[in-house]
Structure 1
Amino acid sequence: MKILTEADAGAEVALSVGETIEVVLSENATTGYTWAIERIEPAVVTVAERSSRYPQQGAVGSGGHAVFRLTAATPGKGTVRLRYWREWEGDASAIRRFQFGVTVAP
């Protein structure tokens, strides 16, 4: 399974129908900021799962990772964009964005 991180921002990813990738981004939900899908081409790529990974032990308020598992649905091209924001404060609260292109082949 392919794994994308912040270092892969702007990447172009090639997938086959049914293939799954993970997007793993640094997150600290104790600040109120979380990663969320801002744009996706649902006919091309679907969100199979969204989860968080935080240390079992450590200081209160320590960061972790947001994990998005995406599955290639049908052949086509699209863009996936995520934003790091406080949902209740709206789009103006977004302080980071992560985007990549995806091409799905049969």
Structure 2
Amino acid sequence: MRKSLVILLLGLTVAACGTDSGDEHAGHSSTSPVTSSPETSAPATSGASGTVVPQGGTVTVTDADNGRERKLNTGEQLVVRLGSNPSTGYGWQLAGLDQNVVRQSGEKEYVSDQPVLPGTPGTEVWTFVGNAAGVTELRMEYKRPWEQGVEPSKTFTVVLVVV
């Protein structure tokens, strides 16, 4: 009886570890957002994910830019990269933005620091585009979406001046 049990467990272990189809990352994009310096002006092109990259350069902001002011040209892309760990239930949510001045472009993306280890922190990447001349405050909150009436764990604010 013991011998049969050992053989069964050994067989299950081998079966569980035995196949690797090579598509362990299927459905996950490892592409980085298309970036260029703010001084670079180029015609609109298609990015790696099929989205249209607007004419103009790219301005990138991170946690270090919290509370600062950034200049953005009309048609220029703004990439916001903020630390996140979705395994905790927390995520960045857009809390304030004048969409007439700056509009969100596409969906947010999550880039894990260590893709093979679940629960490790990474970066949320949000993309916006300067829509029209003006000033707006981009305000984001790091919180759990199901918790109502609870203060966010963190906030991120940057004043955008679009010319």
Aligned identity (percent) is: 28
User: What's the TM-score, normalizing by structure 1?
Assistant: 0.92
Greater strand percent: which structure? 1
Q: Quick one: which of 85, 91, 101 aligns to 1:28?
A: 85
Runs of at least 5 residues in structure 2 that lack an aligned partner in the other structure: 1-57
Amino acid at match of 2:125: V
Which amino acid letter does the alignment assign opposite residue 73 of structure 1?
Answer: N
TM-score calculated relative to the size of structure 2: 0.61
1:63 aligns with 2:126: no
Instruction: Establish whether residue 15 from structure 1 lines up as the match of residue 72 from structure 2.
Output: yes
Distance in 2 (CA, whole Å) between partners of 1:38 and 1:52 is: 18
Query: Could you say which structure has the greater relative contact order, defined with CA pairs below 8 angstroms and 6 or more residues apart?
Result: 1
Higher-Rg structure is 2
- Residue 96 in structure 1 maps to residue 96 in structure 2: no
Q: Runs of 4 or more off by more than 4 Å in structure 1? A: none
- The answer as to whether partners of 1:78 and 1:102 remain within 8 angstroms in 2 is yes
Whether the 8 Å CA contact 2:113–2:123 is kept in 1: the answer is: no
1:40 aligns with 2:40: no
Q: Which runs of 5+ in 1 are unaligned?
A: none
User: SS at the partner of 1:88?
Assistant: coil
Higher mean alpha-carbon deviation, 44-53 vs 27-36, is at: 44-53
Q: Give the partner amino acid of 1:6.
A: D
